[in-house]
Amino acid sequence: MVRSLFRSGFLVRFSHTVLTWIVTLILFLHNTDLRRCEERGELLLPALFFLLILLSVLLYFTVSLMDPGFVLTDTVKGGQGSNEEMESMIAQSSTPRLRRCGYCLLQQPMRAKHCQMCKRCVRRFDHHCPWIENCVGERNHRWFFAYLLVQLLVLLWALHIALSGISPGATWELWLRANGFLLGALTMVGVFSWVTLLLLGCHLYLVSINCTTWEFMSRHRISYLKNCEDEENPFDRGVFCNLWDFFCICRTVMWEQVYKKNTSNPV
């Protein structure tokens, strides 16, 4: 039972939620800026901080539990017309043939990959994130980015609040007794701040060039990229268009058509 709970991601999500609220309680109960605002009757900043934490937790569970873009049926299924159109597109261009997954036996769309942890193929696979115990793919990637952004704001604000609560002590022993829990929270928040900042920066860069983490790390093993030049990306449409497509276009993209267009008409 314990093993099945761990596999389902329950322990990861439970641990994340518990740590979040423990750190929040420490920040509210110690003599920090939040506590001093409460004592003065100024509840706006504490309320905003609490709502931002609540938003980060809601985004965490949204990204963690939603379908990242699982491939449910064969790409070419869906009518004779779509089948003939796909075969014609492959035959008339240099587009690599779609491969059939050796695990779930479905035909993979371009940029899809089978995840060993989720045991499913995921469209526009980016990576499997142990933090959310879910894949990051075509459907939840923008939500994952939004979660990282909100989480970073929460962590930086929490870092400032924790520093405001550090009090002096006559001796090291008294200082540690007075600030022990706050120092623990400060250390945890500091580490997670750096990790989240690095993740957010990496994903912003990859989104701006329309590349996934998997493609960036393993392009030499990917059939549709290994024959491209080192700096060539057949899905790159320019920074503005890439960002617009990522944040504003909520639909399934036929990456085979994008690949065909860009490789047939190189700039």
Residues marked active site are found at 129
Helix (H/G/I), strand (E/B), else coil: 84? helix
Alpha carbon separation from 232 to 64, 202, 266 (Å, rounded): 32, 19, 10
Dist CA 125 CA 127 (whole Å): 6
How many residues in the chain?
267
CB atoms within 10 A of CB 131: 19
CA distance to 17, 32, 76, 87, per residue, from 254 (Å): 37, 52, 12, 14
- For 129, the enclosing helix (H) or strand (E) is strand 127-129
